[in-house]
Chain A
Amino acid sequence: MTDKTNALTRRGALKTLGAAASLPLWARYASAQSAEPIKIGFQVHRTGIGAAYGRWYDRTTQAAVAMINEAGGINGRPVEIIAEDDGTDAKRGAEVVEKFATQHNCDIAFGTLFSHVVIGSAPRAGELKIPYFVVSEGHHVASGMLNRYTLQPGITDVKSQVQAMAPFVAENLGKKVTMVFPDFAFGHDHRDYFTAAIEANGGEVLEHIAIPPTETSFTKYFPKIPRDTEVLYHVMVGPAVLTFVKELGEFFGPNGPQMFGFIDSLEAVNIGSPGLEFLEGSYFWEGMPHHAQDDQSEFETIYREKVGVDARGASISDPKDVSTYAHMFGCWETLHVVKAGMEAAGYSGPQDRAALIEAVEAMTDMPESLEHPQGAKVFNGKTHQVFGHQYITQVQDGMLKKVHTTSIEDTLYPDEVDYTTQSF
Chain B
Amino acid sequence: MELGPYLLLATLEGAVTAAVLALTASGLALVFGVMRVVNVAHGEFFMLGAVIAWWVASHIGGAPVWGFTAALVLAPLIVGAIAAAADMTVLKRLDYDPERTIVATIGLLYILQQATLMTYGPDARPVEPPFNQRLALPWIEWTETGLGLYWPWGLSTTSYKLAVIGAAVVVLLGIWALMTRTRIGLLMRATQLDRDMALAFGIPVERVYALVFGLGAALAALAAVLIVPIQQAHYLMGHDPLLLSFIVVIIGGLGSLPGTILAAIFIGLTDGIISVFFSPTLAKILATLLVALVLVFRPQGLFGTRAA
Contacts of A184 in B (CB 8 A): none
Digit string of B153-181 for contact with A (CB within 8 Å is 1, else 0)? 11010100000000000000000000000
**Within 8 Å of chain A (Cβ to Cβ): is B237?**
yes
Question: Chain A contacts of B204 at CB under 8 A?
Answer: none
Closest to A227 in B: B153
Cβ-defined contact, B13 with A219, below 8 A: yes
Cross-chain contact B9 with A239 (CB below 8 angstroms): no
Q: Please, which residues of chain B bring their CB within 8 A of the CB of A240? A: 124, 231-232, 234
> Chain B, 115-132, contact with A by CB distance < 8 Å: what is the 0/1 string?
001000111101010001
Q: Could you say which of A216, A225, A243, A274 contacts B154, with CB atoms under 8 Å apart?
A: A225
Task: State the interface size on chain A (CB cutoff 8 A).
Answer: 32
Q: When the two chains form their complex, are residues B156 and A251 in contact, meaning their CB atoms are under 8 A apart?
A: yes
A223 to B273, CA, bound (A): 11
Complex interface: chain A residues within 8 A of B153 (CB): 227, 252, 255
23 sampled A-B residue pairs with Cβ under 8 A: A47-B117, A51-B122, A52-B123, A55-B123, A217-B230, A217-B231, A220-B276, A222-B154, A223-B1, A223-B6, A223-B276, A239-B123, A239-B234, A242-B124, A242-B126, A243-B230, A251-B154, A251-B156, A252-B153, A253-B134, A253-B136, A268-B123, A274-B132
**B280:A212 contact, CB within 8 angstroms:** yes
Q: Would you give the shortest CB distance from B47 to chain A, in whole angstroms?
A: 12
Is B122 within 8 A of A46, CB to CB?
yes
Contact of A252 with B123 in the complex, beta carbons under 8 Å: no
Complex Cα distance A225/B134, Å?
19
A201-229 vs B, CB cutoff 8 Å, 1 = contact: the mask equals 00000000000100111011111010100
Question: Contacts of A352 on B, CB cut-off 8 Å?
Answer: none
Docked Cα-Cα span, A243 to B231, in Å, equals 6
Q: In the complex, what residues of B have CB within 8 A of residue A227's CB?
A: 1, 153
Q: Which 3 A-B pairs have the closest CB atoms?
A: A51-B122, A239-B124, A220-B275
> Is A308 located at the chain interface by the 8 A CB criterion?
no
Min Cβ gap A142→B in Å is 30
Interface contact tally, CB-CB below 8 A: 76
Give the distance in Å from the alpha carbon of A54 to the alpha carbon of B123 in the complex. 10
Asked if A368 lies at the interface with its beta carbon under 8 angstroms from chain B, I say no
A47 contacts across to B, CB distance below 8 A: 117, 122
Q: Please report the C-alpha to C-alpha distance between residue A251 and residue B156 in the assembled complex, in whole angstroms.
A: 6
| B residues apposed to A, CB below 8 Å | 1, 6, 9-10, 13, 17, 117, 121-124, 126, 128, 132, 134, 136, 153-154, 156, 158, 230-232, 234, 236-237, 240, 272, 275-276, 280-281
Residues of chain B with a CB closer than 8 A to A242's CB: 124, 126, 232
Contacts of A49 in B (CB 8 A): 236
Q: Does A273 contact B (CB under 8 A)?
A: yes
A37 CB-CB contact with B under 8 Å: no
Q: Indicate if the CB atoms of B6 and A273 lie closer than 8 Å.
A: no
Known: A52-B122, A239-B234, A250-B134. 5 other contacts (CB 8 A): A47-B122, A51-B122, A225-B154, A227-B153, A251-B156
Q: CB-CB < 8 A to A275: which residues of B?
A: 132
Most buried by B among A212, A223, A273: A223
| Residue with the greatest number of chain A CB neighbours at <10 A, chosen from B10, B132, B136, B230 | B230
A274–chain B nearest beta-carbon distance, Å: 6
A223 near B117: Cβ-Cβ < 8 Å: no
Interface residues of A (CB under 8 A from B): 46-49, 51-52, 54-55, 212, 215-217, 219-223, 225, 227, 239-240, 242-243, 250-253, 255, 268, 273-275
A212 to B275 alpha-carbon distance, docked (Å): 13
- Report Cα–Cα, A104/B128, bound state, in Å: 44
A contact residues around B17 at 8 Å (CB): 217
**What CA separation (Å) do A154 and B231 show in the bound complex?**
34
**Chain A residues whose CB sits within 8 angstroms of the CB of B232 once the complex forms:** 216, 239-240, 242-243
A220 touches B10 (CB 8 A): yes
Query: Which residues does chain B contribute within 8 Å of A222, judged by CB atoms?
Result: 154
Supposing A47-B122, A227-B153, A239-B123 touch, asked if A220 and B13 sit within 8 A by C-beta, the answer is yes
With a 10 A CB-CB cut-off, give which of B10, B154, B276 has the most chain A CB atoms: B154
Q: Compute how far the CA of A215 lies from the CA of B9 in the bound complex, rounded to whole angstroms.
A: 19
How far, in Å, is B120 (CB) from chain A's closest CB? Answer: 11
Closest to B272 in A: A220
CB-CB under 8 A from B234, the residues of chain A are 239-240
* Residues of B close to A54: CB separation below 8 A: 122
In the complex, which residue of chain B has the Cβ closest to the Cβ of A321?
Answer: B123
Q: Which of chain B's residues has its CB closest to A216's CB?
A: B231
For B236, the chain A residues whose CB sits under 8 A away are 48-49, 239
Q: State A217–B15 Cα separation when bound (angstroms).
A: 13
Q: Which residues of B contact A221 (CB under 8 A)?
A: 275-276, 280
Q: Measured between C-beta atoms, what is the minimum distance from B258 to chain A in Å?
A: 27
Contacts of B123 in A (CB 8 A): 51-52, 55, 239, 268
Cβ distance A138 to chain B, nearest Cβ, rounded Å = 22
CA distance A48 to B154 in the complex (A): 32
CA A215 – CA B271 in complex, angstroms? 14
* Residues in B whose Cβ lies below 8 Å from that of A243: 230-232
Which residues of B sit under 8 angstroms from A268, Cβ to Cβ? 123
How far, in angstroms, from A87 to B83 measured CA to CA in the complex?
28
Question: Are A216 and B237 closer than 8 Å at their CB atoms?
Answer: yes
The residues of A that contact B281 with a CB separation of less than 8 Å are 212
Does B136 lie within 8 Å of A216, measured CB to CB?
A: no
A132 to B308, CA, bound (A): 54
